[in-house]
A = this chain, B = another copy of it.
């Protein structure tokens, strides 16, 4: 399962009952803290149905109190040290996942934090390929585990990067949501794939990737296992989708070779994004995978990277057109975005 790289997994409970899982690249972790009772769920949280949009909306009133841009010495995602306990009751870790203290979802849903490194400074783009593989194992592990929880309908692994996108903790980390519903984007992709199958007899994601490979103008990086491209109808200034050569439905289905090969393409893309304007690129990176239970067969797993800086010092905002009408407007042509990314210095010889 882990290619040539072994990973040591250990799990336990934090003092307040939240689950924590370590993914270590070497053995020897001491036992995690013992299980305690989970606090009662908060009365002011939950889901409400929006009858106009036909969608669920999540409420989490106590998230207003969540930690907001602490100084590095107070970072809750660093390892604990003598006299200062953080969210992680350990002196060191490689990759660790734990339930969010300020979840957007409670009840049947679940929100987890995934720390990519114990190093406070830096970013995902600075991780070693080995570490990216360990992160991938954690994503696949959480997809399997949360997808098996009663009431969880979809597992969503994502990273928000940059203050410009609202990140309140700079320590390199992402999140894993176990949604108690299939979120709208996933529903929409599945509906499009089913309609495409009915109309053409083919798979939508296969056709999309084939068309991008045949065209070639929007390819950013690729190796034998993964292809990164700016989609022809990109809605973000710099938007990249990374698909495996062999379509799979979800993260658990990615084989060992592809898990190992992912790092080279993704790190290359991230370094190109940071190089574009000579400044850390604010982005959202989201794994789009099949729902945990609903119709799954037509889905094509891919990583969806949405970068929001449209020019040096200028961001893309979701204003009246996008937020009010749901209609996207993009100032950067996808072919231009792909060319600029290819010209920006990448970090890997695998990128072309």
Partner of A286, one of B186, B318, B320, B333: B320
Q: How far is the CA of A120 from the CA of B165 in the complex (A)?
A: 30
Contact code string A280-322 (vs B, CB < 8 Å = 1, else 0): 0000101010000000000000001010001100111111110
Contact present for A185 and B321 (CB under 8 Å): no
Contact code string A83-123 (vs B, CB < 8 Å = 1, else 0): 00000000000000000000010000000000000000000
Q: How far is the CA of A60 from the CA of B311 in the complex (A)?
A: 14
Grouping DSSP codes into helix (H, G, I), strand (E, B) and loop, the A interface class, with mixed when no group exceeds half, is mixed
Knowing A50-B233, A57-B234, A64-B310 touch, does A319 contact B183 (C-beta < 8 A)?
no
Query: Does A8 lie at the interface of the complex (its beta carbon under 8 Å from any beta carbon of B)?
Result: no
The number of times this chain is found in the oligomer is: 2
Query: Does A277 lie at the interface of the complex (its beta carbon under 8 Å from any beta carbon of B)?
Result: no
Query: Does A128 lie at the interface of the complex (its beta carbon under 8 Å from any beta carbon of B)?
Result: no
Looking at A159, A232, A286, A317, the one whose CB has the most chain B CB atoms below 10 A away is: A317
CB of A306, distance to nearest CB on chain B (Å): 6
User: What residues of chain B lie closer than 8 Å to A306, measured between beta carbons?
Assistant: 323-324
Which residues of chain A (190-204) have a CB below 8 Å from chain B? Answer: 191-192, 195-196, 204
Number of A residues near B (Cβ < 8 Å) is 75
Query: Does A330 lie at the interface of the complex (its beta carbon under 8 Å from any beta carbon of B)?
Result: yes
Query: Does A245 lie at the interface of the complex (its beta carbon under 8 Å from any beta carbon of B)?
Result: no
Partner of A325, one of B49, B68, B184: B184
Partner of A63, one of B184, B331, B334: B331
Contact present for A165 and B317 (CB under 8 Å): yes
Q: How far is the CA of A61 from the CA of B334 in the complex (A)?
A: 10
Q: How far is the CA of A196 from the CA of B53 in the complex (A)?
A: 12
Contact present for A44 and B333 (CB under 8 Å): yes
Knowing A63-B331, A64-B311, A175-B320 touch, does A233 contact B48 (C-beta < 8 A)?
yes
Query: Does A336 lie at the interface of the complex (its beta carbon under 8 Å from any beta carbon of B)?
Result: yes
Partner of A166, one of B68, B167, B315: B315
Looking at A44, A60, A330, A336, the one whose CB has the most chain B CB atoms below 10 A away is: A330
CB of A108, distance to nearest CB on chain B (Å): 14
Looking at A48, A58, A160, A321, the one whose CB has the most chain B CB atoms below 10 A away is: A321
User: What residues of chain B lie closer than 8 Å to A63, measured between beta carbons?
Assistant: 329, 331
User: What residues of chain B lie closer than 8 Å to A158, measured between beta carbons?
Assistant: 320-321, 324-325
User: What residues of chain B lie closer than 8 Å to A324, measured between beta carbons?
Assistant: 156, 158, 185, 284, 286, 288, 304, 306
Query: Does A226 lie at the interface of the complex (its beta carbon under 8 Å from any beta carbon of B)?
Result: no
CB of A192, distance to nearest CB on chain B (Å): 5
Partner of A60, one of B52, B204, B325, B329: B329
Contact present for A320 and B160 (CB under 8 Å): yes
Q: How far is the CA of A158 from the CA of B329 in the complex (A)?
A: 15
Q: How far is the CA of A327 from the CA of B232 in the complex (A)?
A: 24
Q: Which 6 A-B pairs have the closest CB atoms?
A: A166-B317, A286-B324, A184-B326, A50-B233, A158-B320, A183-B325
A-B pairs with beta carbons under 8 Å apart, 24 shown: A48-B233, A51-B204, A52-B231, A53-B185, A54-B191, A56-B327, A58-B327, A68-B314, A160-B320, A166-B316, A166-B317, A166-B319, A175-B320, A179-B327, A183-B325, A183-B327, A184-B325, A184-B327, A186-B325, A188-B326, A286-B324, A286-B325, A288-B324, A306-B323
